Amino acid sequence: MTDAPLAVVILAAGEGTRMKSSTAKVLHPIAGVPMIGHVLSTAAALRPTRTLAVVRHQRDAVADAIAELSDGVDIVDQDDVPGTGRAVELALAALDGFDGDVVVISGDVPLLDVETLFGLLSEHREGGHSASVLSALVDDATGYGRIVRDHDGSFLKIVEHKDAAAHELDIAEINSGTYVFRAGALRDALAKVGTANAQGEKYLTDVIELLAGDGHAVGATVLVESWIVAGVNDRVQLAEVSARLNAMIVRGHQLAGVTIDDPATTWIDRAVSIEPDARILPGTFLHGATSIACCATVGPETTLRDCEVGQNATVTRTDATLAVIEANATVGPFSYLRPGTVLAEGGKIGTFVETKNSHIGRGSKVPHLSYIGDTTVGEESNIGAGTITANYDGVAKHPTSVGSHVRTGSHNVFVAPVTIADGAYTAAGTVVRRNVPAGSLAMTVGQQKNIEGWVANNRAGSAAAEAAENTKESE
Ligand code: UD1
Ligand code: CA
């Protein structure tokens, strides 16, 4: 391949009307990354000299996202003239005298991969083309521009769906919106493109007919796997593309040694990492920068966002965000781990337990029906069933500190700020309002009182009274 300079232009100025969304189309997430993030990664993999993104609709939101997702992308603002042709014309103006190959891709075609683009670029360079278009044969060409060829099969022009004659609508070969152009030829042709069409837009696609008419070599390369260039224009296509990408991600993990019982109900974001011999059970959603170490089991019915799961840990029917679950720890079933939860090695967060901003030390357990917030628990301690940290006094949040080898009784309230020191115990039903010294037993003193004969006096003739009477007789 010759080493002509290469520029990539990403089109992202359109309104995305068919999404019917207040969010810009290219910012809708797919596999945890805004749609345009996938396109930016592909562009970067081509290693171009320049990358430009054309924006207009929701300009700042789109430009900010691009800056966050990728380095060194120049933003070009589209003006009042609508259309993909105008977008590229302004990008060329920003390229200021650039003479080389210009790859044009769309922000709404997220599955396009760098191998496919390299293929198009090689054909373009080897064929000495002024314009090369990636086309595809699809079952339903609705909405796409059609590739018009003469009877010899030579590529003549692209006609947009809305401008197509009835016989052109029958064409199954569509324009994918992916192109390579010689910069000079493109600049000259775009200057001649008008807006006299069904949409009143300056179409990029019109340059093909102009170039072909002027004797330039133009080519359309048919992509066999048409899903690679599926465009996202509405929410139906968004779901289709998301499912396709997810299937590829799941398969990639399977081939790398991860057991995934049910690919159809397992959703894994692009940035998630999973080590071999981990097992993912059905109905599991792994989002963001979640990482899962070797031999851990996650699921079924579990959602993890930006979580770390250590070796051999088990996470069952759990919802967790920004939590760290260390090696050999167990979580669930039915646990809710909110940001800042750290469960150290061998620890346990059990059934119907909610945690937030809390460090549960090595081997410590919160097994049942509890809320633990703004708390540190030392090592090998056990928090009794039904324990609530009262961490909020209506004004501010306060911390709770539980030491190591502590045993707290069932149905406790820890009224923060409060400390329960190493080796201490608390009795069932204790409301811990004052610090508990190391090795002490804390209990709330309120003696139990039994009023004998109360049922016979107040509930005479009831089943309870009869049962009590029978018990007395048999004593
Ligand atoms: C476009 C093509 C069509 C092709 C299809 C493939 C044209 C005229 N048509 O149609 O032949 O089959 O893509 O997916 O090019 N954009 C701008 N500025 C604008 C208008 C659009 O930057 O003024 C951007 C959009 O944000 C989008 C891309 O260009 O990323 C394509 O625009 P869209 O309106 O989706 O074009 P299609 O109708 O899909
Ligand atoms: Ca489109």
Q: What is the pLDDT of residues 307-336, one digit of tens each?
A: 999 999 999 999 999 999 999 999 999 999
Atom of ligand 1 nearest to the CA of 144: 12
Ligand nearest to the CA of 206: 1
Residue 445 has pLDDT above 90, yes or no: no
Strands 29-30 and 33-34: antiparallel
398 in active site: no
1 has pLDDT over 50: no
Q: What is the pTM of this model?
A: 0.92
Which residue's alpha carbon is at the smallest distance from atom 29 of ligand 1?
11
Q: Bridge partners of 8?
A: 51, 103
pLDDT the model gives residue 79: 96
160 and 205 in contact (C-beta within 8 Å)?
Answer: yes
pLDDT at 2 over 60: no
Q: Mean pLDDT throughout 7-24?
A: 96
| 83 pocket-lining for ligand 1 (C-beta < 6 Å) | yes
**Contact at 8 Å (CB) between 285 and 304?**
yes
Tell how far the Cα of 18 is from the centroid of ligand 1, in angstroms: 12
Q: Which of 106, 135, 237 to mutate to test the pocket of ligand 1 (most atoms within 8 A of CB)?
A: 106
pLDDT at 32: 97
* Percent residues over pLDDT 70 in the chain: 99
On the 0-12 / 13-18 / 19+ scale of CB atoms within 10 A, 197 is middle
Residue 389 pLDDT more than 70? yes
Rg (CA), the chain: 32
Q: Give the model confidence (pLDDT) of 288-303 as tens digits.
A: 999 999 999 999 999 9
Distance CA 333, CA 325 (A): 14
Q: What backbone phi and psi angles, to 5 degrees, belong to 365?
A: -135, 140
**Beta strands 335-337 and 348-356: pairing type?**
parallel
Residue nearest to atom 37 of ligand 1 (CA): 144
Catalytic residue (choose from 57, 161, 359, 368): 368
Q: Report whether pLDDT(69) > 80.
A: yes
Of residues 15 and 94, the one with the higher pLDDT is: 94
Average pLDDT over residues 53-64: 97
d(CA 374, CA 416): 9
State pLDDT tens for residues 251-280.
Answer: 999 999 999 999 999 999 999 999 999 999
Q: Answer whether residue 417 shows pLDDT above 70.
A: yes
Whether the pLDDT of residue 217 is over 60: the answer is: yes
Based on the number of CB atoms within 10 Å of its own CB, is 69 exposed (0-12), middle (13-18) or buried (19 or more)?
Answer: middle
Quick one: tokens of 459? 């509930």
Give the domains, in start order, of the chain with CATH numbers.
Answer: 6-229 (3.90.550.10), 235-442 (2.160.10.10)
Across the range 385-405, mean pLDDT stands at: 97
Spatial contact of 9 and 105, defined as CB atoms under 8 Å apart: yes
Report the greatest alpha carbon distance in the chain: 114
Average pLDDT, the chain: 97
Q: How far apart are CA 295 and CA 428, in angstroms?
A: 38
pLDDT digits (tens, 9 = 90+) for 26-41: 999 999 999 999 999 9
Ligand 1 neighbourhood includes 174 CB (under 6 angstroms): yes
**Mean pLDDT across 143-168:** 96
pLDDT of the residue at 3: 66
Q: How far is the CA of 398 from the centre of ligand 1 (A)?
A: 54
Arithmetic mean of pLDDT, 424-444: 97
CA-based nearest residue to 270, from 293, 247, 254: 247
Query: Counting atoms of ligand 1 from 1, which one is nearest the CA of 109?
Result: 14
Per-residue pLDDT, 446: 85
Which residue in this structure is represented by tokens 């396109």?
Answer: 39
- Report strand pairing: 285-287 vs 303-305: parallel
Query: For 10-35, what is the mean pLDDT?
Result: 96
The continuous run of DSSP H or E covering 365 comes out as strand 365-373
Q: How far is the CA of 177 from the centre of ligand 1 (A)?
A: 7
Which ligand is in closest contact with the Cα of 104? 1
- Is-contact 121 101, C-beta < 8 A? yes
